[in-house]
Amino acid sequence: MQTIDVMLGRRSYPIHIESGLLNNIPSLLGEVNGDRKWVIISEPKLLDLHGNTLRLNLEGAGFACDVITLEEGEASKNLSVYGSIIERLIELQCDRTSAILALGGGVVGDVSGFVAATFLRGIDYYQIPTTCLGMVDSAIGGKTGVNSPSGKNLVGAVYQPKGVLIDPELLHSLPRGEVQSGLGEVIKYGAIRDKDFFHKVSSWLDDTDAFPFEDAIAQCCTIKAEIISKDEREGSLRRILNFGHTVGHALEAQLGYGTIRHGEAVSYGMKCAGKISCEMGFLSEEEFILLSSTIGKLPLPTLPEIDKTALMKFIRVDKKWENLQLHFVLLKQLGKAVISTAVTEDLIKNSLEVFE
Ligand SMILES: NC(=O)c1ccc[n+]([C@@H]2O[C@H](COP(=O)([O-])OP(=O)(O)OC[C@H]3O[C@@H](n4cnc5c(N)ncnc54)[C@H](O)[C@@H]3O)[C@@H](O)[C@H]2O)c1
Ligand SMILES: [Zn+2]
């Protein structure tokens, strides 16, 4: 088992990674069990696939366990689902000692984390990610929350889990497209922070059937843990995790959420950011080509014709959230990200040619 620590003083926590780890969860949590109640929050399908086994294992080891489900999909990430989970916790007579196990992808993780952050002003929770995106990104770092009708992630809290328990074998049941979308974020980690890892990922992508998920996930978690440990609240360093996300988010919003997967949109966004980095004289032409060809190894969906002016409107909305200044993540070189406030709309518009 590989263990990576997120170092945040008294709020530090471990990320455990091992194939088959799901079966060891009772022993990993044995020390913190006591008399507390455990609530697994998941989706019906995920309970059938993995959650019922987890529950049986926990109960067999003497844990008091309940289950709450939410429907799968981004539509569940809202205040009404959040409210109904809180009510259910009250019905189940949960108290301050109760703990949540969030078994699912980013949707389950974000909602459950926000429930944990706010129920009785905060109870313990553990992330058990089941998607590639969850394992390398959303389960780590404590960003929790739900969407409002006006936009994504507008309500939430930074509230760290007590631990992240990753079993890469759970990816076997994940649809291939979801796995490949998560690999977009894997490329991101190499591009922003670790050139050697970038090169490894690039060659691993030549044969995705043999992709070494456990090692790749561990390296992504190491990078994210290091960044979170230094900058929990997105002062500046944490911003580099948004590489590819300015254009990526705009693309998701314009095409409609659910039309393109997050990691796919980010992959296109990374190509744009790479091109801008090159145009502004940061990234060499050679490294930009390497970045693009690595992203090109992912089977990205063909985009419909994009209305560039409309896309720019979505980018400007993103801008509002950054004190009216667009903090654009660029690459100085592969493995080294830099934040720029000098990226013009023209540069962004020109970079959209990578879509063609
Ligand atoms: N908190 C953060 O730091 C952070 C970071 C990135 C993204 N996010 C959020 O994460 C969400 C997206 O997460 P996601 O991509 O994991 O999507 P998701 O949670 O919707 O999961 C994708 C699909 O895969 C299914 N699924 C999950 N695990 C499975 C498995 N092992 N086998 C079979 N099917 C499985 C789910 O039912 C769902 O249909 C977005 O809401 C995004 O805003 C949060
Ligand atoms: Zn992302």
pLDDT digits (tens, 9 = 90+) for 108-117: 999 999 999 9
Question: In the beta sheet, which residues pair with residue 16?
Answer: 3, 165
297 and 189 share a domain?
yes
Query: How many distinct structural domains can be found in the chain?
Result: 2
Amino acid letter at 1? M
The answer to which of 76-80, 92-96, 322-326 has the lowest mean pLDDT is 322-326
Q: 17: which strand partners? A: 2, 166
Residue 59 designated active-site: no
My answer on whether 181 and 266 are in the same domain is yes
pLDDT tens for 7-39 read 999 999 999 999 999 999 999 999 999 999 999
| CA of 9 relative to ligand 2 center, distance in Å | 26
**Within this chain, do residues 81 and 53 fall inside the same structural domain, yes or no?**
yes
Contacts of 289 (CB under 8 A, 6+ apart): none
- Alpha-carbon span 319 to 331, nearest angstrom: 20
Give the CATH number, domain containing residue 295: 1.20.1090.10
Q: Is the pLDDT of residue 321 over 70?
A: no
Whether 155 and 265 share a structural domain: no
- Specify whether 122 is located in the same domain as 269: no
8 A C-beta contact, residue 49 and residue 39: no
- Whether 199 and 139 share a structural domain: no
- Nearest of 200, 243, 235 to residue 219 by alpha carbon: 200
248-287 pLDDT, tens digit per residue, is 999 998 998 778 999 999 999 999 999 999 999 999 999 9
Asked whether residue 319 carries a pLDDT value surpassing 80, the answer given is no
* Stronger pLDDT, 305 or 103, i.e. the higher one: 103
Task: Report the chain's terminal Cα–Cα distance, integer Å.
Answer: 43
Rounded-to-integer distance, Cα 185 and Cα 242, Å: 10
Q: Examine the domain organization and report whether 103 and 153 are in the same domain.
A: yes
- Strand pairing report for 143-148 and 151-158: antiparallel
Q: Is residue 223 part of a domain?
A: no
What's the confidence (pLDDT) of residue 322?
65
Distance CA 252, CA 160 (A): 27
219 is a domain residue: no
Per the domain annotation, does 51 fall within a domain? yes
DSSP 106-125: HHHHHHHHHHHHHGGG--EE
- pLDDT band at residue 192 under the 50/70/90 scheme: very high
Minimum mean pLDDT range among 50-54, 88-92, 146-150, 193-197: 146-150
The answer to whether residues 200 and 165 belong to one domain is no
Q: At a CB cut-off of 8 Å and minimum separation 6, what does 340 contact? A: 280, 327, 328, 329, 330
Residue 101 resides in a domain:
yes
Lowest mean pLDDT among 172-181, 214-223, 309-318: 309-318
| Average pLDDT score over residue span 206-211 | 94
251 and 268 together in one domain: yes
Across residues 234-239, what is the average pLDDT? 88
Domain contains 328: yes
Backbone angles phi, psi at 337, to 5 degrees: -95, 160
Question: In the predicted model, what is the mean pLDDT of residues 154-163?
Answer: 96
Q: What is the pLDDT of residue 38?
A: 98
The catalytically annotated residue of 16, 77, 249, 261 is 249
- Three-class SS of residue 237? helix
Amino acid identity, position 224? K
Instruction: Indicate whether 281 and 339 sit together in one domain.
Output: yes
Print the domain residue range for 281.
176-213+230-355
Q: Is 323 exposed, middle or buried (0-12, 13-18, 19+ CB in 10 A)?
A: exposed
- For the domain that residue 159 is a member of, what is the CATH number? 3.40.50.1970
Average pLDDT, the chain: 95
Residue 234 falls in the annotated catalytic set:
yes
61 within some domain? yes
36 is an active site residue: no
Percent of the chain whose predicted confidence (pLDDT) is above 70: 98
In this structure, is residue 225 part of a structural domain?
no
Q: Is the CB of 238 under 6 A from ligand 1?
A: no
Residue nearest to atom 16 of ligand 1 (CA): 105
Q: Once rounded to an integer, what is the mean pLDDT over residues 89-96?
A: 98
Whether the CB of 138 sits within 6 Å of ligand 1: yes
Please name the amino acid found at residue 307: D
- pLDDT tens digits for 336-352? 999 999 999 999 999 99
Q: 234 and 161, same structural domain?
A: no
Tokens at 5, concatenated? 């620590």
* One-letter identity of residue 164: V
In a domain, 168, yes or no: yes
In this prediction, residue 320 carries a pLDDT of: 53
User: Do 282 and 322 share a domain, yes or no?
Assistant: yes
Strands 124-129 and 143-148: unpaired
